[in-house]
Amino acid sequence: MNTKTELQGKANRHLWMQAKGWADMTAAGEPMIIESANGISVTDIEGNTWLDVNGGYSSVNIGYGRKDMADIVKNQMLQLSYYPEQTTTFPNALLAEKLAEITPGTLSRVWPVSGGSEANEIAIRMARAYHVRRGDKGRYKIISRYGSYHGATSGVAWLGRPASLGLDQYEPGPLGMIYASQPNPYSCSFGGKSPSECAILCAQDIENLIIQNDPDTIAAIIGEPITSSLGAVVPGEQYWLIVREICDRYGILLIDDEVVCGFGRTGKMFGIEHFGVTPDIMTLAKGLGSSYVPIGAVIATTQIADAFAGKENIFYAALTAGGHPVSTASALANINIIEQEGLVEASAVKGRYFINRLNNLAVKHPIVGDVRGMGLLVAIELDSKFTIDDKELGDWLVNTFKDNGLLLRTLGSRVIQMSPPLCITEAEIDIIVDALDSTLTKLSSYLSKV
């Protein structure tokens, strides 16, 4: 049997992990080897247990260790593990129907993929191809918001230009990327003094960019309804309504990235439902299957899909694992669990409890500058007045959280986002907040010495 040290050695000799250097991990006695998990808890190879406050990659919506999900996967593999070209399967058809049923408006035509990056790649291609079919061949530019993350593949990595991807080493980027401001009420780029004022100013920024860059060249605007990549940034309620009106005015498609926000994460089945807006294209992943197996999807409105009808009009973008029967069967079971166990409503209720506890924490710790979020996508942002190296602070926070029983990463070191499985209990929320309380107390002492 492999020991922890042996497995770490194998990983650090051969595994190229995400956002981790093998030399640093070797020196720090990492990586942590996770052996089992249940609910929101994970256990390493030595039997140590932590709460996974980020729920994987904000993706394990129904929680770890569900035997019913494992049974679905096993049974589907035994019955049909894959399928021939130009055929489909029972679970694929049922999942498409289910997604058409639960998504808003006339979103009704599903393109299966195997993850969020692929979903956004397909959505961008679909938007551009739609305009071509309508005779607008000059529409290729995409508007995203600075700092947003929409995936790591070559096309969508440039959406938002997130600092974490180090895009300067992959220049030149694709043509037609335009960047708007984030509607972040805590640090509004245009000095808005309220969520409403910031929303209006940032929506106007999008219209200004459209005019400056020639409206007839803009294909789509893409955004998360609540920006997870910057720590649960909730725009003022007018923002998406105004953006939808702008899209309609200029003939631009609205792509709603629900990869993180979807399937109950924000206290609604889909994040955009908080704002009463229907997008033209919606992208899905993460909570679609709760990360039991890889899956994603793009769903388009009837109007968009109908532009691709006809023998000579097919949209070509074949993906080997898109619509995999094991993935689609798992996703269908996952959605059923979310609905049957009331996890969307639970997310809303527990999210309010979480925010209330974090607000009380902010009163106790002036170092907390902002508390925000919806449902079980919440965050605190530390006040920017103190000076410390961001990497040093980030490493210190992650290590201190770990000492307090939490696996919890930071975003840019000053933003601490929490997105636990939707099955979390209030008692587990209390454990997380108490550990944050202890960490912030230690942080104040730590900062007084640096």
pLDDT at 176 over 90: yes
More confident residue, 420 or 166: 420
Per-residue pLDDT tens digits for 51-87: 999 999 999 999 999 999 999 999 999 999 999 999 9
Per-residue pLDDT tens digits for 308-325: 998 889 898 889 999 999
pLDDT at 165 over 90: no
Residue 272 has what DSSP assignment? G
pLDDT at 142 over 80: yes
Structure tokens at 199: 């929303």
**CB neighbours of residue 195 within 10 Å:** 20
Beta-bridge mates of residue 179: 144
Integer CA distances (angstroms), 76 to 70, 115, 135, 249, 314, in order: 10, 20, 43, 46, 30
pLDDT at 387 over 70: no
Adjacency order of strands within the sheet including 406-407: 34-38, 41-44, 49-52, 406-407
Question: Which residues 6+ apart lie within 8 Å of 390 measured at CB?
Answer: 412, 413, 414
Structure tokens at 331: 């996703």
Structure tokens at 79: 């019955």
Phi-psi region of 290 (alpha: psi -120 to 50; beta: other; left: phi over 0): left
Q: How far apart are CA 52 and CA 64, in angstroms?
A: 10
Share of the chain above pLDDT 70, in %: 98
CATH of domain 68-340: 3.40.640.10
pLDDT at 447 over 80: no
Which range (159-163, 220-224, 257-261, 346-350) has the least confidence?
159-163
Please provide the DSSP assignment of 357-418 as one string.
HHHHHHHH-TTEEEEEEETTEEEEEE-TTS---HHHHHHHHHHHHHHTTEE---BTTTEEEE
Q: What is the largest CA-CA distance in the chain?
A: 70
Please provide the DSSP assignment of 78-95 as one string.
HH-S---TT---HHHHHH
Q: How far apart are CA 348 and CA 336, in angstroms?
A: 18
Residue range 286-291: average pLDDT? 98
More confident residue, 21 or 344: 344
Q: How far apart are CA 231 and CA 372, in angstroms?
A: 8
Is 280:304 a contact under the CB 8 Å cutoff?
A: yes
- Judge whether 32-62+343-447 and 68-340 match in fold: no
Structure tokens at 158: 């440039």
Does residue 325 have a cis peptide bond before it, meaning omega lies within 30 degrees of 0?
Answer: no
Q: How far apart are CA 327 and CA 300, in angstroms?
A: 20
Side-chain-facing half-sphere of 193: CA atoms under 13 Å: 0
Question: Which residues 6+ apart lie within 8 Å of 357 measured at CB?
Answer: 429, 430, 433
Arithmetic mean of pLDDT over the chain: 94
**pTM here?**
0.96
Dihedral sign from CA coordinates of 81, 56, 47, 391: positive
Residue range 113-139: average pLDDT? 97
Q: Where are the domains of the chain?
A: 32-62+343-447, 68-340
Per-residue pLDDT tens digits for 3-22: 888 888 888 888 888 777 88
Q: Which of 374, 377, 375, 372 is nearest to 343 (CA)?
A: 375
Residue range 164-178: average pLDDT? 88
Q: How far is CA 358 from the centre of its chain?
A: 22
Share of the chain above pLDDT 90, in %: 80
Give pLDDT, residue 227.
97
Please provide the DSSP assignment of 423-436 as one string.
T--HHHHHHHHHHH
The confidence band for 449, taking pLDDT boundaries of 50, 70 and 90, is low
pLDDT at 234 over 70: yes
CATH of domain 32-62+343-447: 3.90.1150.10
